[in-house]
Amino acid sequence: MQFISTRGSSPAVSASEAILNGLAPDGGLYVPEYIPSVDRAFVESLCPLTYAERAAKVLSLYLSDYTHSELLEYAHAAYSRFETPDTAAPTVRLTHNTYVLELYHGPTCAFKDMALTILPHLLTAAMRKNGISDKVMILVATSGDTGKAALAGFADVPGTAITVFYPEDGVSAVQKLQMITQSGENVSVFAVKGNFDDAQNGVKRIFSDRACAERLAARGIRLSSANSINWGRLVPQIVYYISAYCDLLNQNAVAYGDTVDICVPTGNFGNILAAFYAKKMGVPLGRLICASNENNVLTEFLQTGRYDRLRDFRKTSSPSMDILISSNVERLLAELSGHNGSEVAGMMSALVSEGSYTVSEELLRSIRELFAAGNTDDAGTYEAIRATYSAGWLSDTHTAVALKVLENYRARTGEDRITVVASTASPFKFAIDVNAALEGSEVRPDLDGGTEILDTLSAKTGVSIPEPLSGLDSREKRFKVSVEPADMLSAMEGAF
Ligand SMILES: *Cc1c(COP(=O)(O)O)cnc(C)c1O
Protein backbone atom coordinates (compact mmCIF):
# COMPACT_ATOMS: atom_id res chain seq x y z
CA MET A 1 0.00 0.00 0.00
CA GLN A 2 1.27 3.45 -0.97
CA PHE A 3 0.45 6.80 0.60
CA ILE A 4 -0.34 9.95 -1.33
CA SER A 5 -0.54 13.61 -0.38
CA THR A 6 -3.93 15.26 0.16
CA ARG A 7 -2.67 18.10 -2.09
CA GLY A 8 -1.72 15.78 -4.92
CA SER A 9 1.69 17.13 -5.90
CA SER A 10 4.11 14.91 -3.97
CA PRO A 11 5.28 11.44 -4.99
CA ALA A 12 3.54 8.42 -3.48
CA VAL A 13 5.54 6.83 -0.66
CA SER A 14 5.52 3.64 1.40
CA ALA A 15 3.92 3.52 4.85
CA SER A 16 7.28 3.76 6.60
CA GLU A 17 8.27 6.79 4.51
CA ALA A 18 4.93 8.45 5.28
CA ILE A 19 5.61 7.95 9.00
CA LEU A 20 9.17 9.19 8.64
CA ASN A 21 8.19 12.32 6.67
CA GLY A 22 5.18 13.34 8.81
CA LEU A 23 4.07 16.03 6.38
CA ALA A 24 4.25 15.53 2.59
CA PRO A 25 6.70 17.81 0.73
CA ASP A 26 3.81 19.75 -0.91
CA GLY A 27 2.50 20.66 2.56
CA GLY A 28 -0.32 18.10 2.44
CA LEU A 29 -1.04 15.15 4.73
CA TYR A 30 -0.52 11.54 3.76
CA VAL A 31 -3.60 9.38 3.10
CA PRO A 32 -3.72 5.77 1.94
CA GLU A 33 -4.16 5.47 -1.85
CA TYR A 34 -7.20 3.27 -1.20
CA ILE A 35 -9.11 2.20 1.91
CA PRO A 36 -8.70 -1.53 2.56
CA SER A 37 -11.96 -3.36 3.17
CA VAL A 38 -12.73 -5.90 5.83
CA ASP A 39 -15.54 -8.44 5.84
CA ARG A 40 -17.54 -10.21 8.49
CA ALA A 41 -15.05 -13.10 8.71
CA PHE A 42 -12.18 -10.68 9.35
CA VAL A 43 -14.01 -8.76 12.08
CA GLU A 44 -15.22 -11.96 13.74
CA SER A 45 -11.70 -13.37 13.64
CA LEU A 46 -10.61 -10.44 15.84
CA CYS A 47 -13.25 -11.05 18.50
CA PRO A 48 -11.40 -13.70 20.57
CA LEU A 49 -8.05 -11.87 20.35
CA THR A 50 -6.26 -9.55 22.76
CA TYR A 51 -6.11 -5.86 21.96
CA ALA A 52 -2.50 -6.09 20.73
CA GLU A 53 -3.38 -8.99 18.44
CA ARG A 54 -6.36 -7.12 17.03
CA ALA A 55 -4.13 -4.09 16.47
CA ALA A 56 -1.47 -6.06 14.58
CA LYS A 57 -4.06 -7.52 12.20
CA VAL A 58 -5.68 -4.16 11.46
CA LEU A 59 -2.38 -2.27 11.16
CA SER A 60 -1.12 -4.88 8.67
CA LEU A 61 -3.83 -3.76 6.23
CA TYR A 62 -2.31 -0.29 6.04
CA LEU A 63 1.36 -0.67 6.95
CA SER A 64 2.33 -3.11 4.25
CA ASP A 65 6.07 -2.59 4.48
CA TYR A 66 6.01 -3.78 8.09
CA THR A 67 5.64 -7.51 8.71
CA HIS A 68 2.80 -8.86 10.82
CA SER A 69 5.27 -10.15 13.40
CA GLU A 70 6.93 -6.72 13.66
CA LEU A 71 3.56 -5.08 14.20
CA LEU A 72 2.58 -7.67 16.78
CA GLU A 73 5.82 -7.06 18.66
CA TYR A 74 5.26 -3.28 18.66
CA ALA A 75 1.61 -3.61 19.67
CA HIS A 76 2.59 -5.88 22.56
CA ALA A 77 5.27 -3.45 23.70
CA ALA A 78 2.78 -0.55 23.52
CA TYR A 79 -0.37 -2.05 25.01
CA SER A 80 1.31 -4.14 27.71
CA ARG A 81 1.86 -0.77 29.40
CA PHE A 82 -1.91 -0.32 29.82
CA GLU A 83 -3.84 -0.99 33.02
CA THR A 84 -5.35 -4.22 31.67
CA PRO A 85 -3.12 -5.09 28.70
CA ASP A 86 -5.39 -7.69 27.09
CA THR A 87 -8.27 -5.22 26.86
CA ALA A 88 -6.36 -1.96 26.55
CA ALA A 89 -9.47 -0.06 25.42
CA PRO A 90 -12.57 -1.68 26.97
CA THR A 91 -16.11 -0.92 25.81
CA VAL A 92 -18.33 -0.33 28.84
CA ARG A 93 -22.13 -0.29 28.98
CA LEU A 94 -23.71 2.88 30.39
CA THR A 95 -27.33 2.33 29.37
CA HIS A 96 -29.18 0.00 26.98
CA ASN A 97 -28.07 2.08 24.00
CA THR A 98 -25.02 4.04 25.19
CA TYR A 99 -21.57 2.49 25.54
CA VAL A 100 -18.29 4.23 26.34
CA LEU A 101 -15.05 3.21 24.72
CA GLU A 102 -12.50 3.85 27.48
CA LEU A 103 -9.38 5.05 25.71
CA TYR A 104 -7.62 6.39 28.81
CA HIS A 105 -6.08 3.40 30.53
CA GLY A 106 -2.58 4.04 29.18
CA PRO A 107 0.53 5.41 30.91
CA THR A 108 -0.68 9.04 30.95
CA CYS A 109 -4.44 8.51 31.36
CA ALA A 110 -5.43 10.20 28.09
CA PHE A 111 -6.43 8.73 24.74
CA LYS A 112 -3.29 10.01 23.01
CA ASP A 113 -1.52 7.04 24.62
CA MET A 114 -3.37 4.75 22.18
CA ALA A 115 -1.15 6.06 19.39
CA LEU A 116 1.86 7.54 21.18
CA THR A 117 2.84 4.27 22.86
CA ILE A 118 3.20 2.50 19.50
CA LEU A 119 4.44 5.42 17.35
CA PRO A 120 8.06 5.30 18.66
CA HIS A 121 8.30 1.67 17.51
CA LEU A 122 6.79 2.46 14.10
CA LEU A 123 9.14 5.41 13.73
CA THR A 124 12.39 3.68 14.72
CA ALA A 125 11.50 0.74 12.45
CA ALA A 126 10.83 3.24 9.65
CA MET A 127 14.36 4.63 10.12
CA ARG A 128 15.87 1.15 9.83
CA LYS A 129 13.72 0.25 6.83
CA ASN A 130 14.87 3.36 5.01
CA GLY A 131 18.55 2.93 5.87
CA ILE A 132 18.74 5.91 8.24
CA SER A 133 21.10 5.30 11.14
CA ASP A 134 20.68 8.71 12.78
CA LYS A 135 19.13 9.09 16.15
CA VAL A 136 15.72 10.76 15.98
CA MET A 137 15.04 13.76 18.21
CA ILE A 138 11.35 14.42 18.81
CA LEU A 139 10.47 18.03 19.44
CA VAL A 140 7.10 18.91 20.99
CA ALA A 141 5.37 22.12 22.04
CA THR A 142 2.46 21.20 24.26
CA SER A 143 -0.52 22.78 25.94
CA GLY A 144 -0.76 19.76 28.25
CA ASP A 145 -1.83 16.28 27.19
CA THR A 146 0.31 15.66 24.11
CA GLY A 147 3.62 16.49 25.79
CA LYS A 148 3.20 13.97 28.57
CA ALA A 149 1.90 11.23 26.27
CA ALA A 150 4.84 11.78 23.90
CA LEU A 151 7.34 11.75 26.81
CA ALA A 152 5.93 8.50 28.14
CA GLY A 153 5.87 6.99 24.65
CA PHE A 154 9.46 7.83 23.74
CA ALA A 155 11.13 7.49 27.18
CA ASP A 156 14.08 5.08 26.92
CA VAL A 157 13.14 3.92 23.40
CA PRO A 158 16.55 3.14 21.81
CA GLY A 159 17.53 5.42 18.92
CA THR A 160 15.28 8.27 20.08
CA ALA A 161 15.36 11.33 22.31
CA ILE A 162 12.60 13.80 23.11
CA THR A 163 12.45 17.45 24.16
CA VAL A 164 9.17 18.99 25.33
CA PHE A 165 8.42 22.68 25.80
CA TYR A 166 5.35 23.78 27.76
CA PRO A 167 4.11 27.32 28.55
CA GLU A 168 5.11 28.17 32.13
CA ASP A 169 1.67 29.37 33.22
CA GLY A 170 -0.40 27.58 30.60
CA VAL A 171 -0.78 24.06 31.99
CA SER A 172 -2.51 22.70 35.08
CA ALA A 173 -0.57 21.75 38.22
CA VAL A 174 -1.19 18.07 37.53
CA GLN A 175 -0.10 18.33 33.90
CA LYS A 176 3.08 20.15 34.92
CA LEU A 177 3.92 17.56 37.59
CA GLN A 178 3.27 14.75 35.13
CA MET A 179 5.84 16.24 32.75
CA ILE A 180 8.58 17.37 35.12
CA THR A 181 8.64 14.03 36.96
CA GLN A 182 9.01 12.01 33.74
CA SER A 183 11.69 9.32 34.02
CA GLY A 184 14.01 8.24 31.21
CA GLU A 185 17.59 8.93 30.12
CA ASN A 186 16.56 10.37 26.75
CA VAL A 187 13.91 12.88 27.87
CA SER A 188 14.13 16.58 28.51
CA VAL A 189 11.47 19.10 29.54
CA PHE A 190 11.55 22.91 29.63
CA ALA A 191 9.09 25.55 30.75
CA VAL A 192 8.86 28.48 28.34
CA LYS A 193 8.38 32.00 29.69
CA GLY A 194 5.33 32.75 27.56
CA ASN A 195 2.08 31.23 26.36
CA PHE A 196 1.41 28.19 24.16
CA ASP A 197 1.84 30.19 20.96
CA ASP A 198 5.31 31.30 22.12
CA ALA A 199 6.28 27.67 22.73
CA GLN A 200 4.78 26.53 19.42
CA ASN A 201 6.43 29.32 17.43
CA GLY A 202 9.76 28.52 19.08
CA VAL A 203 9.48 24.89 18.00
CA LYS A 204 8.56 25.94 14.46
CA ARG A 205 11.64 28.21 14.38
CA ILE A 206 13.87 25.30 15.42
CA PHE A 207 12.39 23.08 12.69
CA SER A 208 13.09 25.70 10.02
CA ASP A 209 16.62 26.56 11.24
CA ARG A 210 18.97 25.05 8.63
CA ALA A 211 22.15 25.77 10.56
CA CYS A 212 20.70 23.89 13.51
CA ALA A 213 19.73 20.95 11.30
CA GLU A 214 23.32 20.80 10.00
CA ARG A 215 24.86 20.92 13.48
CA LEU A 216 22.54 18.12 14.58
CA ALA A 217 23.23 16.08 11.42
CA ALA A 218 26.95 16.31 12.23
CA ARG A 219 26.11 14.70 15.59
CA GLY A 220 24.00 12.02 13.86
CA ILE A 221 20.67 13.48 15.01
CA ARG A 222 17.59 14.11 12.91
CA LEU A 223 14.63 16.19 14.10
CA SER A 224 11.09 14.86 13.93
CA SER A 225 7.68 15.67 15.35
CA ALA A 226 5.04 13.52 17.01
CA ASN A 227 2.01 15.64 16.27
CA SER A 228 -1.32 14.35 15.12
CA ILE A 229 -0.85 15.00 11.41
CA ASN A 230 1.49 11.99 11.20
CA TRP A 231 -0.20 8.92 9.65
CA GLY A 232 1.56 6.88 12.35
CA ARG A 233 -0.64 8.56 14.93
CA LEU A 234 -3.86 8.16 13.02
CA VAL A 235 -3.68 4.52 12.00
CA PRO A 236 -3.49 3.06 15.55
CA GLN A 237 -6.74 4.89 16.28
CA ILE A 238 -8.64 3.04 13.57
CA VAL A 239 -8.01 -0.16 15.51
CA TYR A 240 -10.11 0.72 18.53
CA TYR A 241 -13.31 1.40 16.61
CA ILE A 242 -13.10 -2.06 15.06
CA SER A 243 -12.14 -3.47 18.46
CA ALA A 244 -15.21 -1.78 20.01
CA TYR A 245 -17.48 -3.48 17.48
CA CYS A 246 -15.91 -6.81 18.48
CA ASP A 247 -16.52 -6.00 22.15
CA LEU A 248 -20.20 -5.33 21.40
CA LEU A 249 -20.42 -8.65 19.53
CA ASN A 250 -18.73 -10.44 22.44
CA GLN A 251 -21.17 -8.84 24.89
CA ASN A 252 -24.13 -9.84 22.66
CA ALA A 253 -25.11 -6.18 22.50
CA VAL A 254 -25.28 -6.44 18.70
CA ALA A 255 -25.47 -9.17 16.08
CA TYR A 256 -23.09 -8.85 13.14
CA GLY A 257 -24.41 -6.25 10.73
CA ASP A 258 -26.32 -4.19 13.29
CA THR A 259 -25.36 -0.58 12.80
CA VAL A 260 -23.64 1.26 15.64
CA ASP A 261 -23.29 5.05 15.80
CA ILE A 262 -20.11 6.67 17.07
CA CYS A 263 -19.87 9.93 19.05
CA VAL A 264 -16.47 11.59 19.48
CA PRO A 265 -15.33 14.67 21.44
CA THR A 266 -13.31 16.38 18.75
CA GLY A 267 -10.41 18.81 18.57
CA ASN A 268 -7.96 18.25 15.76
CA PHE A 269 -10.41 15.82 14.04
CA GLY A 270 -7.97 12.88 14.29
CA ASN A 271 -10.02 10.65 16.56
CA ILE A 272 -13.29 10.99 14.62
CA LEU A 273 -11.45 10.63 11.31
CA ALA A 274 -10.22 7.24 12.51
CA ALA A 275 -13.89 6.26 12.99
CA PHE A 276 -14.55 7.43 9.43
CA TYR A 277 -11.82 5.10 8.13
CA ALA A 278 -13.18 2.18 10.16
CA LYS A 279 -16.65 2.79 8.67
CA LYS A 280 -15.27 3.04 5.13
CA MET A 281 -13.43 -0.24 5.65
CA GLY A 282 -16.82 -1.88 5.96
CA VAL A 283 -17.33 -2.17 9.73
CA PRO A 284 -21.07 -1.70 10.38
CA LEU A 285 -20.83 1.82 11.77
CA GLY A 286 -23.61 4.34 11.20
CA ARG A 287 -23.68 8.04 11.92
CA LEU A 288 -20.45 9.71 13.09
CA ILE A 289 -21.40 12.36 15.63
CA CYS A 290 -18.84 15.12 16.05
CA ALA A 291 -19.00 16.79 19.47
CA SER A 292 -17.44 20.18 20.13
CA ASN A 293 -17.29 22.61 23.04
CA GLU A 294 -17.86 26.38 22.64
CA ASN A 295 -15.15 26.41 19.97
CA ASN A 296 -17.80 25.21 17.54
CA VAL A 297 -16.00 25.68 14.23
CA LEU A 298 -16.52 22.00 13.34
CA THR A 299 -20.22 21.99 14.21
CA GLU A 300 -20.78 24.83 11.82
CA PHE A 301 -18.56 23.30 9.15
CA LEU A 302 -20.20 19.86 9.16
CA GLN A 303 -23.67 21.44 9.12
CA THR A 304 -23.13 24.19 6.54
CA GLY A 305 -20.00 23.31 4.57
CA ARG A 306 -18.31 26.58 5.50
CA TYR A 307 -15.12 26.40 7.58
CA ASP A 308 -14.46 29.75 9.24
CA ARG A 309 -11.55 30.01 11.67
CA LEU A 310 -12.05 33.75 12.20
CA ARG A 311 -13.82 33.76 15.54
CA ASP A 312 -12.99 34.26 19.19
CA PHE A 313 -10.98 31.53 20.83
CA ARG A 314 -12.70 30.31 24.03
CA LYS A 315 -10.96 28.67 26.96
CA THR A 316 -13.22 25.88 28.19
CA SER A 317 -13.31 23.03 30.68
CA SER A 318 -12.34 20.67 27.84
CA PRO A 319 -9.03 22.33 26.88
CA SER A 320 -7.82 19.58 24.54
CA MET A 321 -10.70 20.55 22.24
CA ASP A 322 -9.97 24.29 22.34
CA ILE A 323 -8.89 24.40 18.72
CA LEU A 324 -9.87 26.56 15.76
CA ILE A 325 -7.85 24.86 13.03
CA SER A 326 -8.55 21.13 12.92
CA SER A 327 -5.74 19.82 10.73
CA ASN A 328 -7.18 16.39 10.00
CA VAL A 329 -10.24 17.84 8.23
CA GLU A 330 -7.91 18.08 5.25
CA ARG A 331 -7.80 14.27 5.09
CA LEU A 332 -11.60 14.08 5.09
CA LEU A 333 -11.76 16.56 2.21
CA ALA A 334 -9.26 14.45 0.27
CA GLU A 335 -11.21 11.24 0.83
CA LEU A 336 -14.62 12.75 0.00
CA SER A 337 -13.41 14.60 -3.10
CA GLY A 338 -11.96 11.41 -4.58
CA HIS A 339 -8.39 12.59 -3.86
CA ASN A 340 -8.83 15.80 -5.81
CA GLY A 341 -5.50 17.38 -4.81
CA SER A 342 -6.03 20.74 -6.45
CA GLU A 343 -9.49 21.17 -4.91
CA VAL A 344 -8.06 20.39 -1.45
CA ALA A 345 -5.01 22.61 -1.96
CA GLY A 346 -7.34 25.46 -2.99
CA MET A 347 -9.43 25.17 0.15
CA MET A 348 -6.34 24.96 2.38
CA SER A 349 -4.79 28.05 0.86
CA ALA A 350 -8.09 29.95 1.24
CA LEU A 351 -8.06 28.96 4.92
CA VAL A 352 -4.64 30.56 5.31
CA SER A 353 -5.20 33.65 3.19
CA GLU A 354 -8.89 34.40 3.88
CA GLY A 355 -9.49 32.48 7.09
CA SER A 356 -12.29 30.40 5.57
CA TYR A 357 -13.44 28.16 2.73
CA THR A 358 -16.69 26.59 1.58
CA VAL A 359 -16.95 23.06 0.18
CA SER A 360 -18.88 22.19 -2.98
CA GLU A 361 -22.55 21.17 -2.77
CA GLU A 362 -21.55 17.64 -3.65
CA LEU A 363 -18.96 17.42 -0.91
CA LEU A 364 -21.42 18.85 1.63
CA ARG A 365 -23.92 16.17 0.65
CA SER A 366 -21.36 13.41 1.37
CA ILE A 367 -20.43 15.05 4.67
CA ARG A 368 -24.07 15.18 5.74
CA GLU A 369 -24.66 11.56 4.87
CA LEU A 370 -21.86 10.51 7.19
CA PHE A 371 -21.73 13.02 10.01
CA ALA A 372 -23.90 14.78 12.54
CA ALA A 373 -22.48 17.55 14.71
CA GLY A 374 -23.29 19.46 17.86
CA ASN A 375 -21.70 21.56 20.56
CA THR A 376 -22.23 22.44 24.19
CA ASP A 377 -20.85 24.89 26.77
CA ASP A 378 -19.29 24.37 30.20
CA ALA A 379 -22.71 24.33 31.89
CA GLY A 380 -23.84 21.54 29.53
CA THR A 381 -20.58 19.69 30.16
CA TYR A 382 -21.03 19.90 33.93
CA GLU A 383 -24.66 18.75 33.61
CA ALA A 384 -23.55 15.68 31.68
CA ILE A 385 -20.92 14.86 34.32
CA ARG A 386 -23.60 14.97 37.03
CA ALA A 387 -26.15 12.97 35.03
CA THR A 388 -23.65 10.27 34.07
CA TYR A 389 -22.35 10.05 37.62
CA SER A 390 -25.89 9.42 38.90
CA ALA A 391 -26.08 6.63 36.33
CA GLY A 392 -22.93 5.07 37.79
CA TRP A 393 -20.01 6.24 35.66
CA LEU A 394 -17.53 9.05 36.31
CA SER A 395 -16.82 11.10 33.17
CA ASP A 396 -14.07 13.57 32.39
CA THR A 397 -14.97 16.92 30.81
CA HIS A 398 -14.15 15.97 27.19
CA THR A 399 -16.20 12.79 27.28
CA ALA A 400 -18.98 14.77 28.95
CA VAL A 401 -19.11 17.11 25.95
CA ALA A 402 -19.76 14.09 23.76
CA LEU A 403 -22.37 12.65 26.14
CA LYS A 404 -24.26 15.98 26.17
CA VAL A 405 -24.09 16.36 22.39
CA LEU A 406 -25.36 12.79 21.99
CA GLU A 407 -28.29 13.51 24.33
CA ASN A 408 -29.18 16.61 22.30
CA TYR A 409 -28.84 14.71 19.02
CA ARG A 410 -31.21 12.01 20.20
CA ALA A 411 -33.72 14.59 21.43
CA ARG A 412 -33.54 16.41 18.10
CA THR A 413 -33.75 13.39 15.79
CA GLY A 414 -35.60 10.75 17.81
CA GLU A 415 -32.71 8.37 17.01
CA ASP A 416 -32.08 5.67 19.60
CA ARG A 417 -29.47 3.45 17.98
CA ILE A 418 -26.70 1.89 20.01
CA THR A 419 -23.93 4.48 20.18
CA VAL A 420 -20.33 4.14 21.27
CA VAL A 421 -18.98 7.32 22.85
CA ALA A 422 -15.20 7.71 22.68
CA SER A 423 -14.00 8.50 26.19
CA THR A 424 -10.74 10.39 25.90
CA ALA A 425 -9.40 11.06 29.39
CA SER A 426 -9.50 9.87 32.97
CA PRO A 427 -11.76 12.12 35.08
CA PHE A 428 -8.76 12.58 37.40
CA LYS A 429 -6.84 14.41 34.67
CA PHE A 430 -9.48 17.13 34.83
CA ALA A 431 -10.37 16.70 38.50
CA ILE A 432 -10.91 20.41 39.24
CA ASP A 433 -13.79 20.66 36.81
CA VAL A 434 -15.21 17.21 37.49
CA ASN A 435 -15.23 17.98 41.20
CA ALA A 436 -16.89 21.38 40.67
CA ALA A 437 -19.52 19.74 38.46
CA LEU A 438 -20.34 17.17 41.14
CA GLU A 439 -20.64 19.97 43.69
CA GLY A 440 -23.43 21.41 41.55
CA SER A 441 -21.48 24.35 40.23
CA GLU A 442 -22.42 25.93 36.89
CA VAL A 443 -19.13 27.73 36.34
CA ARG A 444 -15.47 26.83 36.43
CA PRO A 445 -13.45 27.35 39.63
CA ASP A 446 -10.86 30.15 39.54
CA LEU A 447 -8.12 28.22 41.28
CA ASP A 448 -6.10 25.27 40.15
CA GLY A 449 -6.56 22.91 43.07
CA GLY A 450 -3.12 21.30 42.77
CA THR A 451 -2.93 17.58 43.46
CA GLU A 452 -5.15 17.61 46.58
CA ILE A 453 -8.16 17.83 44.31
CA LEU A 454 -7.45 14.28 43.10
CA ASP A 455 -7.79 12.99 46.66
CA THR A 456 -10.94 15.07 47.14
CA LEU A 457 -12.52 13.60 44.00
CA SER A 458 -11.50 10.08 44.92
CA ALA A 459 -12.87 10.40 48.46
CA LYS A 460 -16.13 11.85 47.16
CA THR A 461 -16.74 9.22 44.49
CA GLY A 462 -15.02 6.13 45.84
CA VAL A 463 -13.20 5.81 42.50
CA SER A 464 -9.48 5.30 43.01
CA ILE A 465 -6.87 7.57 41.49
CA PRO A 466 -5.20 5.81 38.55
CA GLU A 467 -1.65 4.74 39.34
CA PRO A 468 0.07 7.12 36.86
CA LEU A 469 -1.59 10.11 38.59
CA SER A 470 -1.15 9.06 42.21
CA GLY A 471 1.64 10.33 44.42
CA LEU A 472 2.75 12.84 41.77
CA ASP A 473 3.75 15.35 44.45
CA SER A 474 6.25 13.01 46.05
CA ARG A 475 8.04 12.04 42.84
CA GLU A 476 11.40 13.57 42.00
CA LYS A 477 11.01 16.84 40.07
CA ARG A 478 13.70 16.35 37.45
CA PHE A 479 13.16 19.36 35.19
CA LYS A 480 13.15 22.81 36.75
CA VAL A 481 14.55 25.06 34.05
CA SER A 482 12.51 27.87 32.47
CA VAL A 483 13.76 29.47 29.28
CA GLU A 484 12.95 32.59 27.29
CA PRO A 485 11.35 31.75 23.90
CA ALA A 486 14.53 33.03 22.21
CA ASP A 487 16.65 30.48 24.12
CA MET A 488 14.68 27.34 23.23
CA LEU A 489 17.12 26.26 20.52
CA SER A 490 20.20 26.39 22.72
CA ALA A 491 18.30 24.67 25.55
CA MET A 492 17.43 21.79 23.24
CA GLU A 493 20.91 21.46 21.78
CA GLY A 494 22.48 21.54 25.22
CA ALA A 495 20.14 18.94 26.69
CA PHE A 496 21.82 15.87 25.17
C1 LIG B 1 -6.49 15.38 22.05
C2 LIG B 1 -7.74 15.20 22.84
C3 LIG B 1 -9.02 15.30 22.25
C4 LIG B 1 -9.22 15.68 20.79
O5 LIG B 1 -8.84 14.66 19.91
P6 LIG B 1 -8.62 14.99 18.36
O7 LIG B 1 -8.08 13.74 17.77
O8 LIG B 1 -7.63 16.12 18.31
O9 LIG B 1 -9.94 15.36 17.80
C10 LIG B 1 -10.13 15.06 23.03
N11 LIG B 1 -10.01 14.76 24.35
C12 LIG B 1 -8.81 14.66 24.96
C13 LIG B 1 -8.75 14.36 26.41
C14 LIG B 1 -7.62 14.87 24.23
O15 LIG B 1 -6.44 14.78 24.85
pLDDT above 80: residue 341: yes
| C-beta of 424 in contact with ligand 1 (< 6 A) | yes
| C-beta of 268 in contact with ligand 1 (< 6 A) | yes
Atom of ligand 1 nearest to the CA of 269: 9
The reported pLDDT for the residue numbered 418 is 98
| C-beta of 425 in contact with ligand 1 (< 6 A) | yes
Cβ-based neighbour number of residue 224 at 10 Å: 21
| C-beta of 398 in contact with ligand 1 (< 6 A) | yes
The reported pLDDT for the residue numbered 143 is 80
This prediction's pTM: 0.96
Q: How confident is the model at residue 198 (pLDDT cuts 50, 70, 90)?
A: confident
Residue having the nearest C-alpha atom to atom 14 of ligand 1: 320
The answer to whether 142 and 168 have CB atoms below 8 angstroms apart is no
Atom of ligand 1 nearest to the CA of 399: 11
Å from CA of 99 to ligand 1 middle: 18
Atom of ligand 1 nearest to the CA of 271: 7
| C-beta of 145 in contact with ligand 1 (< 6 A) | yes
pLDDT above 80: residue 449: no
| C-beta of 112 in contact with ligand 1 (< 6 A) | yes
Atom of ligand 1 nearest to the CA of 264: 9
Atom of ligand 1 nearest to the CA of 272: 9
Å from CA of 355 to ligand 1 middle: 23
The answer to whether 105 and 87 have CB atoms below 8 angstroms apart is no
Å from CA of 134 to ligand 1 middle: 31
Q: How confident is the model at residue 207 (pLDDT cuts 50, 70, 90)?
A: confident
pLDDT above 80: residue 173: yes
Q: Which of 231, 329, 398 to mutate to test the pocket of ligand 1 (most atoms within 8 A of CB)?
A: 398
The answer to whether 142 and 165 have CB atoms below 8 angstroms apart is yes
The reported pLDDT for the residue numbered 443 is 84
| C-beta of 262 in contact with ligand 1 (< 6 A) | no
| C-beta of 458 in contact with ligand 1 (< 6 A) | no
The fraction of the chain above a pLDDT of 90, given in percent, is 88
Å from CA of 79 to ligand 1 middle: 19
| C-beta of 266 in contact with ligand 1 (< 6 A) | yes
More confident residue, 56 or 447: 56
Cα 356 to Cα 306: distance, rounded to the nearest angstrom: 7
The reported pLDDT for the residue numbered 226 is 86
Atom of ligand 1 nearest to the CA of 149: 15
pLDDT above 80: residue 167: yes
The reported pLDDT for the residue numbered 47 is 98
Residue having the nearest C-alpha atom to atom 11 of ligand 1: 424
Strands in 160-167's sheet, in edge-to-edge order, are 221-224, 135-141, 160-167, 187-192, 482-483
pLDDT digits (tens, 9 = 90+) for 350-374: 999 999 999 999 999 999 999 999 9
Atom of ligand 1 nearest to the CA of 430: 13
Cα 125 to Cα 65: distance, rounded to the nearest angstrom: 10
Å from CA of 358 to ligand 1 middle: 25
pLDDT above 90: residue 379: yes
Q: Which of 241, 321, 325, 371 to mutate to test the pocket of ligand 1 (most atoms within 8 A of CB)?
A: 321
| Mean pLDDT lowest among 206-215, 227-236, 251-260, 444-453 | 444-453
Q: How confident is the model at residue 227 (pLDDT cuts 50, 70, 90)?
A: confident
Q: How confident is the model at residue 446 (pLDDT cuts 50, 70, 90)?
A: confident
pLDDT digits (tens, 9 = 90+) for 285-337: 999 999 999 999 999 999 999 999 999 989 899 999 998 889 999 999 999 99
| C-beta of 270 in contact with ligand 1 (< 6 A) | yes
| Mean pLDDT lowest among 150-154, 237-241, 423-427, 440-444 | 440-444
Å from CA of 117 to ligand 1 middle: 16
Residue having the nearest C-alpha atom to atom 4 of ligand 1: 267
Instruction: Please enumerate, as own/partner, the contacts of 458-466 that have beta carbons within 8 Å and a separation of 24 or more.
Output: 458/428, 460/435, 461/389, 461/394, 463/394, 463/427, 465/428, 466/83, 466/105, 466/109, 466/426, 466/428
Cα 195 to Cα 174: distance, rounded to the nearest angstrom: 18
Å from CA of 348 to ligand 1 middle: 22
pLDDT digits (tens, 9 = 90+) for 381-407: 999 999 999 999 999 999 999 999 999
The reported pLDDT for the residue numbered 8 is 96
Q: How confident is the model at residue 450 (pLDDT cuts 50, 70, 90)?
A: confident
